[in-house]
Amino acid sequence: MKKFVYLFNEGNSEMRNLLGGKGANLAEMTKIGLPVPFGFTISTEACNAYYENNQSISSEIQNQVLQALSELEAETGKKLGNPANPLLVSVRSGAVFSMPGMMDTILNLGMNDETVEGMATLTNNPRFAYDSYRRFIQMFSDVVLDVDTFFFERLLEETRENKGYSSDPELTAEDWKEVIVGYKQIVKKHTRKSFPQDPKEQLFLSINAVFDSWNNQRAIVYRRLNKIPGHLGTAVNIQSMVFGNMGNDCGTGVAFTRDPSTGENRLYGEYLINAQGEDVVAGIRTPQPIHTLKQEMPEVYQQFSDTCKVLEQHYRDMQDIEFTVERGQLFILQTRNGKRTAQAAIRVAVEMVKEGIINKDEALLRVDPDQLNQLLHRRIDDKFERTQLAKGLPASPGAATGSVVFDADEAEILAKDGKKVILVRPETTPDDIHGIVASQAVITSRGGMTSHAAVVARGMGKACICGCEAIKIDLAAKEFYVGESVVKEGDIITIDGGTGEVMLGEIPMIEPELSNEFQQLLVWADEVRQLGVRTNADNPEDSQKAREFGAEGIGLCRTEHMFMDPTRVPLVQEMILAENYDERQIALSKLLPLQQGDFEGILEAMQGFPVTIRLLDPPLHEFLPDKEELIVECTKLQITNPNSEELKAKELLLKKVRQLDEFNPMLGHRGCRLGMIYPEIYEMQAKAIFYAVATLADKGVEAKPEIMIPLVGHVNELKQMRQLVIDAANLVKEETGREFVYTVGTMVEVPRAALTADQIAEEADFFSFGTNDLTQTTFGYSRDDAEGKFLQAYIENKVLPDNPFAVLDREGVGKLVETGVRLGRQTKPELKTGICGEHGGEKSSIEFCYQTGLDYVSCSPYRVPIARLAAAQATIRFSEKDVETLVVK
């Protein structure tokens, strides 16, 4: 015979899966002798049995419930339904993971026309008894019988008005009696049945209702969002009532053992005198802060604060505790690990190590790396009030203030004049990149958390709000509306990308700073982690920021961003339009000193840490104007000014644009394929790097460039490009008389490179897995199209578990990474390996990188602290033997 029902003294906190979170903790607290009203838990397995049995409780389980009930009656000396000494209970749902979608708690079950009289006599407090009964009718009807609370509230309001009362406590016992008559009529009208008087019937109806609520719409949606499996089921807790509403020596409250927003070690919470559980949250009366309990009930306060210490020591974590005081006696009704802000999570973890409650490894595991995002961006100073204008999806955290602009070009022009702007668009496309770069933040009225704007903004660490549908944009008029309000181009707004709020005007901000506790935690992380953490940075400012956050080098420095600087685009176009080698050389020689300057800045900021520099990657047409726009301009000029020089120039440009036009630029003439056909471009870049190294050497600054050839698919490509780099290095060495060290490697971002990694390693000193493109090429998805068109549906319908551009796809892309590392190290055991896709800043992907034996991960500057923590967690979770040791056989 299977056991489905457990008394509180038969369980413990380890039995969470069976008893649910609430039930397991009630049992645990009973076990350690805390004052918990007695009761029993019907297990999650009973919930599953209920569904297997066509949504009814089997007689087997009914018997076990009745058996437990009689033991509860024996323990309390009361009896369900006995007017002389009635047992009243609460019915509380309790899933394994706390779930807001589940059934609301029912209090005072066991009340009926007879027991209410008994309660009145026993307590010598008829008012209390009738008030409790009417509360029970209202709650039970709402939760079990599906009769809306509204009808009851309306009746109560009418009664108050008729009698000239302004609040509930003014109602007398006689008044409540009248209300109860009315309540019963409401029930009869809506359910066509009388309110159930048999307490056992009340009990089983409630248990059914809890089990049913496991599969209500709210609960299903919540489970899907939070990836909670549906087969877990919920438990039901039946607990004898204690009353906080018997008079002024009673009360009820909720408290955290530490401040959940700052982490400070002090009791934090509130309570109400003469009230029942639901009153604190209902907001009818304003609760008092917990510390005033010290004056009102000194002994209870002392006992409560001692209990908090006991619970914290016992669970070794900050607790969130519900309590009730009945006639001066304290009862604990719930405890659980308290939810907290990132700031509090860090402080609590670090201080608990210092207090000797947990060790360093545990502290590191206590903080969720994802949560740290909150702390690593500029944010709105909470001291100032904010009035929300509209709200969209919180697509990329951080806060920003700026004037509204509706066009990427305009954003760029204004930014160049030193203006702070926020780009507002229906949605963004790759053509808007320069505008995003120039803006403080981005708002789109369409698109989701994985839309182009969201992805790009997150990559750049910029605040972004997507799908802000309340905003109606009129691009032609250069304004947007929210209801009645109009916001015009140039108006100042402030946004909070972490909450999705848009506000009018400027609100002061605070810069992200790493608190002392945060730095302490990261120092501990560095002590245990084995993965290196580098950053993706293309300019000296980002490099500097990343150093402050603890980056140990640059894993990806993209050189095309240097070309995209508006002052350089004409030079780049000159280079592209060159008709022959000599003309191109002239253009390149003008670009060389500019590139050299960039490299000097970045290498100097990295102070001897390695810097992986990727040679030019995007197809050349990205540096030329848009084809459609050019055609329009040419057509206009043909009419207005047919013989002009301007027209000739534009036509020449259009010819070149047409030559470079590609069907599928993603798979076209780009990456090392550019270097193979126009070696002089890569040669210029390589020389610029080595001149920079030589110049820094003169200043006594050490630099370690790692030159990376993008998009290699065949070893012959790398062989040729590597030779080109070596030749450039030798030339600069000869010219400057300087000796310097450098390495040459490749980005592994097409499947063929991973599959032939043994050959490619012959020519490479390092591999850097470019998992953004490797994901595109492995799935055969173009990211922009996928995220804009079908990926969201794939994830919602569980075709894919996650967005593979956010969380590395271990089974497919991951297998290629593993293969690449293994084959590469077969050829070169010392081969250095890293990852430089966006995955390098995501915790699950970082864990995979550690398990696969990579040397480092690289991510955007603001994610460096996240990566340091995630790398430490991976080390703690997987001992060395779990890590695939990829040695040559």
Q: Which residues bind ligand ADP (CB under 6 A)?
A: 37, 90, 92, 105, 107, 239, 241-242, 277-278, 322, 324, 333-334
- In terms of CB distance, is 242 or 674 closer to ligand ADP? 242
To the nearest whole angstrom, how small is the minimum distance from the Cβ of residue 630 to Mg ion?
27
Smallest CA-to-CA distance from 147 within 180, 204, 181, 195 is with 195
Residue 415's Cβ-side half-sphere holds a number of Cα atoms within 13 Å equal to: 21
- In terms of CB distance, is 235 or 455 closer to ligand ADP? 235
To the nearest whole angstrom, how small is the minimum distance from the Cβ of residue 798 to ligand ADP?
29
Looking at 29-37, 202-210, 383-391, 749-757, which segment touches Mg ion (CB under 5 A)? 749-757
Query: In this structure, which amino acid lies at residue 76?
Result: T
To the nearest whole angstrom, how small is the minimum distance from the Cβ of residue 35 to ligand ADP?
12
Contacted entry of ligand ADP, Mg ion, none for residue 439, CB cut-off 5 to 8 Å set by kind: none
Euclidean distance between CA atoms 786 and 6, whole angstroms: 50
- What sign results for the dihedral spanned by CA atoms 514, 520, 526, 528? negative
Helices 126-143 and 149-163: angle between axes, nearest 10 degrees: 150
Query: In this structure, which amino acid lies at residue 786?
Result: A
To the nearest whole angstrom, how small is the minimum distance from the Cβ of residue 867 to ligand ADP?
36
Q: Which of 41, 334, 685, 776 binds Mg ion (CB under 5 A)?
A: 334
Contacted entry of ligand ADP, Mg ion, none for residue 105, CB cut-off 5 to 8 Å set by kind: ligand ADP
Looking at 62-70, 333-341, 682-690, 696-704, which segment touches Mg ion (CB under 5 A)? 333-341
Looking at 330-338, 442-450, 539-547, 597-605, which segment touches Mg ion (CB under 5 A)? 330-338
List helix spans (H) across 514-660.
516-528, 540-548, 560-564, 569-577, 581-605, 627-640, 645-660
Smallest CA-to-CA distance from 240 within 73, 364, 390 is with 73
Q: Which of 47, 308, 452, 557 is catalytic?
A: 452
445 near Mg ion (CB under 5 A): no
- In terms of CB distance, is 254 or 703 closer to ligand ADP? 254
To the nearest whole angstrom, how small is the minimum distance from the Cβ of residue 339 to Mg ion?
13
Q: Which residue is nearest to ligand ADP (CB)?
A: 277
- In terms of CB distance, is 141 or 334 closer to ligand ADP? 334
Q: CA-based angle 657:662:663, to the nearest 5?
A: 140
- In terms of CB distance, is 131 or 749 closer to Mg ion? 749
Contacted entry of Mg ion, ligand ADP, none for residue 324, CB cut-off 5 to 8 Å set by kind: ligand ADP
Q: Which residue is nearest to Mg ion (CB)?
A: 773
Smallest CA-to-CA distance from 65 within 208, 278, 241, 230 is with 208
Residues 756-775 that bind Mg ion (CB under 5 A): 770, 773
To the nearest whole angstrom, how small is the minimum distance from the Cβ of residue 535 to Mg ion?
18
Contacted entry of Mg ion, ligand ADP, none for residue 239, CB cut-off 5 to 8 Å set by kind: ligand ADP
Residues 550-589 that bind Mg ion (CB under 5 A): none
Euclidean distance between CA atoms 79 and 87, whole angstroms: 5
Residue 154's Cβ-side half-sphere holds a number of Cα atoms within 13 Å equal to: 6
Contacted entry of ligand ADP, Mg ion, none for residue 749, CB cut-off 5 to 8 Å set by kind: Mg ion
Tokens 């508006």 belong to residue:
566
858 near Mg ion (CB under 5 A): no
Contacted entry of Mg ion, ligand ADP, none for residue 875, CB cut-off 5 to 8 Å set by kind: none
Show Cβ contacts of residue 46 under 8 Å, excluding neighbours closer than 6 positions. 4, 5, 57, 61, 211, 233, 235, 236
| 231 catalytically annotated | no
749 near Mg ion (CB under 5 A): yes
Pairing of strands 251-256, 89-95: unpaired
- In terms of CB distance, is 280 or 423 closer to Mg ion? 280
CB 11 within 8 A of CB 44: no
Count of residues touching Mg ion (by CB under 5 A): 4
To the nearest whole angstrom, how small is the minimum distance from the Cβ of residue 464 to ligand ADP?
34
- In terms of CB distance, is 23 or 447 closer to ligand ADP? 23
Pairing of strands 766-769, 743-748: parallel
Query: In this structure, which amino acid lies at residue 820?
Result: G
What would the two tokens of residue 365 be? 């595991």
Contacted entry of ligand ADP, Mg ion, none for residue 834, CB cut-off 5 to 8 Å set by kind: none
To the nearest whole angstrom, how small is the minimum distance from the Cβ of residue 764 to ligand ADP?
57
Euclidean distance between CA atoms 324 and 241, whole angstroms: 10
Contacted entry of ligand ADP, Mg ion, none for residue 717, CB cut-off 5 to 8 Å set by kind: none
Contacted entry of Mg ion, ligand ADP, none for residue 773, CB cut-off 5 to 8 Å set by kind: Mg ion
In which region does residue 328 sit, left (phi positive, over 0), alpha (psi from -120 to 50) or beta (all else)? left
- In terms of CB distance, is 242 or 576 closer to ligand ADP? 242
CB 537 within 8 A of CB 459: no
- In terms of CB distance, is 369 or 770 closer to Mg ion? 770
Euclidean distance between CA atoms 200 and 198, whole angstroms: 6
Show Cβ contacts of residue 645 under 8 Å, excluding neighbours closer than 6 positions. none
Q: Which of 836, 839, 849, 859 is catalytic?
A: 836
Euclidean distance between CA atoms 98 and 20, whole angstroms: 8
To the nearest whole angstrom, how small is the minimum distance from the Cβ of residue 36 to ligand ADP?
9
Contacted entry of Mg ion, ligand ADP, none for residue 756, CB cut-off 5 to 8 Å set by kind: none
To the nearest whole angstrom, how small is the minimum distance from the Cβ of residue 92 to ligand ADP?
3
Residues 688-717 that bind Mg ion (CB under 5 A): none
Show Cβ contacts of residue 500 under 8 Å, excluding neighbours closer than 6 positions. 391, 392, 393, 394, 395, 465, 468
To the nearest whole angstrom, how small is the minimum distance from the Cβ of residue 835 to Mg ion?
13
- In terms of CB distance, is 325 or 684 closer to ligand ADP? 325
Euclidean distance between CA atoms 237 and 333, whole angstroms: 11
Q: Three-class SS string for 749-781?
A: CCHHHHHCHHHHHHHCCEEEECHHHHHHHHHCC
R_g (Cα) of the chain, nearest Å: 34
To the nearest whole angstrom, how small is the minimum distance from the Cβ of residue 122 to ligand ADP?
17
- What sign results for the dihedral spanned by CA atoms 602, 603, 608, 609? positive
| 714 catalytically annotated | no
- In terms of CB distance, is 236 or 502 closer to ligand ADP? 236
**DSSP 8-state class, residue 615:** P
**DSSP 8-state class, residue 355:** T
Contacted entry of Mg ion, ligand ADP, none for residue 277, CB cut-off 5 to 8 Å set by kind: ligand ADP
Helices 581-605 and 540-548: angle between axes, nearest 10 degrees: 20
Contacted entry of Mg ion, ligand ADP, none for residue 352, CB cut-off 5 to 8 Å set by kind: none
CB 274 within 8 A of CB 161: no
Helices 679-698 and 581-605: angle between axes, nearest 10 degrees: 40
Q: CA-based angle 308:314:315, to the nearest 5?
A: 90
- In terms of CB distance, is 334 or 536 closer to Mg ion? 334
Pairing of strands 393-396, 463-466: antiparallel
To the nearest whole angstrom, how small is the minimum distance from the Cβ of residue 529 to ligand ADP?
38
What would the two tokens of residue 594 be? 């500019």
- In terms of CB distance, is 106 or 707 closer to ligand ADP? 106
| Footprint on this chain of Mg ion (rule: CB under 5 A) | 334, 749, 770, 773
Q: Could you list the active site residues?
A: 452, 836
